Structure 1
Amino acid sequence: MADAPKARRKAERRGHRAEWLAVLYLRLKGYRVVATRYKTHAGEIDIIARKGDLAVFIEVKARREAQVAIDAVTPSAMRRIRATSDVWLARQPDFHRLSQRYDIVACLPGRLPRHFPDAF
């Protein structure tokens, strides 16, 4: 049982590192990151970024293969992300101008992150 908290902490550190890498990568691609680990009663979004009038809600997954990372975003996770994005959008003064998109960034060992725009 003592190994479970240790494994959980290790997974959390790996996830935070992946999010940090994803933020850097997205900034290099011209996105303006406006929030990380955005939480509401509806759920959590790893990264919220903007590019002009586009609001992008990004789920970050650290996996060994890109397809495994994509498959790790379950339908229930997608629903939670969409519900949370609705809360964020409602709080934006320019929400009526914004279009939205849901992306996945896969952080793979020893490689640059892979960005999958409009993943769901």
Structure 2
Amino acid sequence: MAAKGGPIKGEAETGKRRKAHGLGLSAETFAAWSLRLTGWRILKHRYKTKAGEIDLIAKRGKTVAFIEVKARRTRAAAMEAVTPASQRRIVRAAKIFIAEHPKAGFFTLRFDVVIVRPWRWPERIVSAFQAAE
């Protein structure tokens, strides 16, 4: 039972988690629209695999980009959030996507990051990281 007027333990964390999840979804939608406006076609949004999830997979010309979207106050904080572990997860998920869509292997593949900051247009960092062999 909660103390008078106080939240049940864990309720505050659940609320924070929901808010962060909602912010992430909004950032992904905003990033997708900014990509569309610059000529990209969104192939997949929130592509889920056993290895993990890729926020966006987009194609323009002969390039397919696997895109991680980060909503942060600063560019440095966003890039810090793209950890080596998250990079490995994205690369593993991308390999699954390529196995399921073999034609993608004929395109130039790259890993981009889109940073969504308050009151700014999303910033795309092209080839933010490489797939480690």
TM-score by length of 2: 0.87
- Quote the residue 1:10 is aligned against: 19
Cα distance in 1 for partners of 2:82, 2:24 equals: 14
Letter in 1 for 2:45: T
Letter in 1 for 2:115: A
Shift of 1:35: 0.3
Larger radius of gyration between Structure 1 and Structure 2:
2
Shift of 1:97: 1.4
- Quote the residue 1:20 is aligned against: 29
- SS of alignment partner, residue 127 of structure 2: coil
> What number of residue pairs does the alignment pair up?
120
Cα distance in 2 for partners of 1:52, 1:114 equals: 20
**% identical aligned pairs:** 43
Cα distance in 2 for partners of 1:95, 1:19 equals: 22
- Quote the residue 2:47 is aligned against: 38
Structure 1 spans left out of the alignment, 5+ residues: none
TM-score by length of 1: 0.96
Check if 1:94 corresponds to 2:103: yes
Cα distance in 1 for partners of 2:99, 2:20 equals: 32
Cα distance in 1 for partners of 2:50, 2:68 equals: 17
Question: Which has the larger displacement, 91-100 or 81-90?
Answer: 91-100
Aligned residues of 2:64 and 2:104 also touching (Cα < 8 A): no
- Quote the residue 1:51 is aligned against: 60
Structure 2 spans left out of the alignment, 5+ residues: 1-9
- Runs of 4+ in structure 1 deviating by more than 4 angstroms, as ranges, are none
